[in-house]
Amino acid sequence: MALGFLPLMLGSCGRECSTPPEILSCFERIVEVLDSTTQYRNLFDLKMADYKRKASEATSDEARFYYYKLITDDYYEFDKDSAEYYIARNLALAEKNNKPEWMVDSYLQAAHLYNKIGSLEQAKDALDAILPLNKTTEQHMQYYLHSIDYWSNRAIFLNLPNPDPMSQRYADSILQMGNIVPRPLQLHAKVWLEDDDHRKVEVIKELKQAIDRMPSTDPWYSKLCEEVGLLSHILHTSEKDEVEYLTRHIVTSVQNVSRSTPQLAYVEQIAIRYGELDFANRFLTALVKMQMDFPDKLRAPLYASVFEVNDAVQQRIESEAKRNFALAVVALLMAVITAVLLGFLIYALRRRARLQHLLKEKNDLLEQQSAELRQEQAMLKQLNDALQQTGEALKYESDSLQEANYVKEEYIGQMFAMCSEYLQKIENVKRDINRKLTARQYDLALKATKIKSDDDMKELHELWSRFDDVFLTLFPDFVERFNELLRPDEHIVLRPGEKLNTDLRIYALVRLGINNSVKIAKILGLSTQSVYNARQKMRARATESEVDFPARVRQLAMDRSSRKEPEQ
């Protein structure tokens, strides 16, 4: 009964012990990149310093506008105030140089920035400022993209259905632009247009294929990874895909020194669900730091995550307390069982001593009975020897029957194969003659039906060769065994490359049970007299009586070490 507690105790680890290795690997990749934040920040500072130096050394407003734009792109998710500062400087340059296209680029950057930090009114103002301005095809695409983000963020903020109809309208505008739209942007637009879950699953497949074809440094890489992860989360298609692609998005964002990666909250919740509290706490710490970097952008899920981690830790403490209690109960029960077993052992030892005394008395009686049994065993041994001799005789007969059956089956199979080949050849000849007769080529048909002695001999030699191969497969040492039946000076010596000669083929058929000279002559294509003469000459070369020679040939055993089973 005590041992029954052990499975319950060991089973308490439950989900904590069942985290899939793919998901654990994703958690480790996130922690690794979070631990390298300082390194990425140093590289980012060096890059920003280089951009600012080049901007200050620029000799034209066009060059300064270009470097301010690069600086703004990198400040989006790192420093809101700096991004706004450089956007304002670019707007001033655009007005100074009367460059509408610069102004559009600056307002697009502003819309992107305010969409990122959740300042919806400012994002709308930037988009409205772009509307009356002339835009290039690329700027049109960017305008539609930031409009999708604005209306989506607005729907989330106002708790409206998402995707918002306006988001879908701008997504449709992107797709209407045709093939000039880059494939990643087309897929991004399709995400907003698809309402059916089944079609969204197909879009996920397309997104994954696009991600696999682009490097992680591509500006669209992080965005598409985020969309695959969130769609997998919403549609509950694959938790492994959800964690994998959110991990790729998070890793890329941290490497780009982003201080706003809210998708880390989804991964943190999955870590809690699997009981990976160390990872969950590490992710929560990173989320808290992001909240401190952007105090003006409140993230409600953050506080829920704090409570979830606390609840999970409390549950683990309670689970470990229960486990420790179960261990104490099991230890106590084991101690009781040990004491009971010790008492039983002492009782068993005493009982064993009494039984040994009784056994000694019975052993004396059994010794007398053993002497009688030994006499009976001797008689049984004699009977057993006789049975073994009988069994060996039966085994020999069984082996002979089995060998005969094997030979029969093998030759039936070979005969069917040869018959099939010759039937095919006859069919081919019939078709050839029929074709010539149809074409009224009577001379050629007559010529084809003439018997050619060379071809006949070729067929006959081929038949002998097939017979030699099959027979020697069954009786590989037939020639040596056959020579043992002849006098030493009369042994048959084959020519180089020869497997069997005519004399050996005659007696090979005898070994197979064909003893009639007429049948042998028909099989080998010889005259009956030639077969008869050859058999008489071979009998004269035998070591013993020539009368028993055929019977001695038939007794030549098959080499069982080289025997193989016939193919099915």
Smallest CA-to-CA distance from 23 within 255, 204, 211, 241 is with: 241
Smallest CA-to-CA distance from 144 within 185, 103, 196, 113 is with: 185
pLDDT at 13: 46
Q: Is residue 481 predicted with pLDDT exceeding 80?
A: yes
Residue 177 is encoded by which pair of tokens? 């632009």
Assign 4 a pLDDT band (cuts: 50, 70, 90). very low
Q: Is residue 12 predicted with pLDDT exceeding 50?
A: no
Rounded to whole angstroms, how far apart are CA atoms 287 and 299?
A: 9
Q: Is residue 205 part of a domain?
A: no
Cβ-Cβ contacts under 8 Å for 464 (sequence gap 6 or more)? 500, 505, 524
How many other β-carbons are positioned within 10 Å of the β-carbon of residue 190?
A: 18
- Which is higher by pLDDT, 401 or 543? 543
- 144-171: average pLDDT: 84
Q: Is residue 36 part of a domain?
A: no
Q: Is residue 471 predicted with pLDDT exceeding 80?
A: yes
Q: Is residue 103 predicted with pLDDT exceeding 90?
A: yes
Peptide bond into 496 cis (omega under 30): no
Q: Is residue 532 part of a domain?
A: yes
Within a 13 Å sphere around the CA of 531, how many CA atoms are in the beta-carbon half?
21
pLDDT at 168: 83
pLDDT at 318: 62
Highest mean pLDDT, choosing among 71-80, 147-156, 261-270, 442-451: 147-156
Three-class SS state of 542: strand
Residue 446 is encoded by which pair of tokens? 């007559």
Residue 168 is encoded by which pair of tokens? 């879908």
In the block, which residue shows the tokens 């060991």? 10
Three-class SS state of 486: strand
pLDDT at 88: 93
User: How many structural domains are present in the chain?
Assistant: 1
Smallest CA-to-CA distance from 226 within 258, 180, 193 is with: 258
- 169-192: average pLDDT: 81
Provide the residue type at 548 as one letter. Answer: D
Measured in Å, how far apart are the chain's first and last C-alpha atoms?
57
pLDDT at 95: 92
Q: List pLDDT tens digits, range 370-421.
A: 888 888 888 888 888 878 887 776 776 666 666 656 666 666 666 656 666 7
Q: Is residue 7 predicted with pLDDT exceeding 60?
A: no
Which residues make beta-bridge pairs with 486? Answer: 542
Cβ(312)–Cβ(14) below 8 Å: no
Rounded to whole angstroms, how far apart are CA atoms 135 and 125?
A: 17
pLDDT at 565: 46
Cβ(58)–Cβ(67) below 8 Å: yes
Rounded to whole angstroms, how far apart are CA atoms 376 and 374?
A: 5
Q: List pLDDT tens digits, range 268-306.
A: 888 888 888 888 888 888 888 776 765 545 444 554 555
Q: Report the range of poorest mean pLDDT among 234-238, 442-446, 528-532.
A: 442-446
- Which is higher by pLDDT, 66 or 439? 66
Alpha helices in 451-513 (DSSP H): 453-474, 478-484, 502-511
Q: Is residue 21 part of a domain?
A: no
Q: What is the mean pLDDT of the chain?
A: 80
Give 371-428 as a 3 state SS string.
HHHHHHHHHHHHHHHHHHHHHHHHHHHHHHHHHHHHHHHHHHHHHHHHHHHHHHHHHH
- Which is higher by pLDDT, 314 or 54? 54
Q: Is residue 165 part of a domain?
A: no
Rounded to whole angstroms, how far apart are CA atoms 75 and 73?
A: 6
Q: Is residue 247 part of a domain?
A: no
Q: Is residue 478 part of a domain?
A: yes
What's the domain range around 540?
451-554
pLDDT at 10: 40
Provide the residue type at 279 as one letter. Answer: F
Q: Is residue 297 part of a domain?
A: no
Cβ(118)–Cβ(291) below 8 Å: no
Cβ-Cβ contacts under 8 Å for 113 (sequence gap 6 or more)? 72, 76, 80, 83, 84, 87
- 545-554: average pLDDT: 80
Give 62-110 as a 3 state SS string.
HHHHHHHHHHHHHHCCCCHHHHHHHHHHHHHHHHHHCCHHHHHHHHHHH
